[in-house]
Amino acid sequence: MSAKRAVVIDLKFERREIDAALRNAFQGRDVLRASDRDQDLSAAGYAIVWKPDADLFRRAPNLQVLFSGGAGVDHILAMPDLPDLPIVRFVDESLTTRMSEWVVLQCLSHLRQAPRYLKQQRERVWRELPQPEAKDLTVGVMGLGVLGQDSAIKLKMMGFDVVGWSRRKKELPGIETFDADGIDAFLSRTDILVGLLPLTPETRGLFNAALFSKLRKGGRLGAPVFINAGRGGSQVEADVLAALQEGTLGGASLDVFETEPLATDSPLWAMDNVIITPHAASASDAAALFRHAERQIDRIEAGQPLEHLVDRGTGY
């Protein structure tokens, strides 16, 4: 038994990855597993959670800080009986880099018509398609937080014209930005819309038919493209489907869904112009997550303020 406050882990991640990462983490501190149902968790002062068990707070009544296993915290804020504790988001270079890789990949895939070429390949069709360049398209990034800003900067480096939208206006070199009220002006500029928003009461259902109808028409792709790696609850999936079917949207890349896993009978799976990934745009690296939690625990135990704190008022 260590004199330091124990950590409880309740991460619905792959067990082997957690075990490997824990070999070098939290030295000199007891690590408890919520998955061990007989384990007494009352000594735990810190919890690291991803989709935690509903009874975690009853089993661990002495927690002081909650660490989210991901950047998003909707999985925590939705919990019944959530105690009034500080919640720390996961912010880390690996998470940011992985997300930007995914976003740039999706934008380039639609720019270079990867879905159409893959279809042609399956059908053994040899046909060259028109080739707009990145500079001919404007990518609009909704959500200019840690992930959105890095994606926007990297898209700009690839040559895209980039605009960004967030609740409070941001200053980013070479990128025109809009605040919440500027949404219509932002949308009317956008050929490829990238969603990197947290799920909050304000962002729920935001990506709907009315919003899609305001995207730029007549751009070099023929019709705008919708890319979402924020949260599925921000999109009205029936509207996404209808917009794709009637041509309001020319394509989509979706990593997140209203219900996950996406139902096997969803028509989205079979659409040639839709790229689907299984909430895998940017996975949390367990070793990086534990290093991040250790840094924050060191800070709190040294009397310093925690970083990356969630504002419960705004929900992110």
Counting residues that bind ligand NDP (by CB under 6 A) gives: 31
Rounded distance between C-alpha atoms, residue 177 and residue 162, angstroms: 9
Assigned token pair, 33: 């597993």
- Residue 167 binding: pick among ligand OXD, ligand NDP, none (C-beta 5-8 Å cut-off by kind): ligand NDP
Decide whether 72 or 224 has the Cβ nearer to ligand OXD. 72
Assigned token pair, 300: 């709190």
Does 52 bind ligand OXD (CB under 6 A)? Our answer is no
Residue 279 bears catalytic tag: yes
Does 72 bind ligand OXD (CB under 6 A)? Our answer is yes
Which of these is catalytic: 5, 110, 231, 292? 231
Assigned token pair, 56: 């975690």
Say if residues 251 and 110 touch (Cβ distance below 8 Å).
yes
138-142 and 192-195 as β-strands: parallel, antiparallel, unpaired? parallel
Residue 231 bears catalytic tag: yes
Does 166 bind ligand NDP (CB under 6 A)? Our answer is yes
Q: Looking at 64-72, 150-158, 165-173, 269-277, which segment touches ligand OXD (CB under 6 A)?
A: 64-72
Q: Which helix (H) or strand (E) holds 111?
A: helix 93-111
Residue choice 100, 106, 203, 284 for contact with ligand OXD (CB under 6 A) = 284
For residue 192, the one-letter residue type is I
Residue spans of alpha helices (H) in the chain: 15-22, 56-59, 74-77, 93-111, 114-122, 146-157, 183-189, 209-212, 237-246, 286-301
Give the CB-nearest residue to ligand OXD: 70
Does 198 bind ligand NDP (CB under 6 A)? Our answer is yes
Nearest-approach distance from CB 229 to ligand OXD, in angstroms: 8
How many angstroms separate the Cα of 109 from the Cα of each of 114, 252, 262, 274? 5, 10, 22, 11
Does 70 bind ligand OXD (CB under 6 A)? Our answer is yes
Q: Looking at 11-19, 70-78, 121-129, 156-164, which segment touches ligand OXD (CB under 6 A)?
A: 70-78
Does 146 bind ligand NDP (CB under 6 A)? Our answer is yes
In the chain, the N- to C-terminal Cα span, in Å, equals 35
Catalytic residues: 231, 279
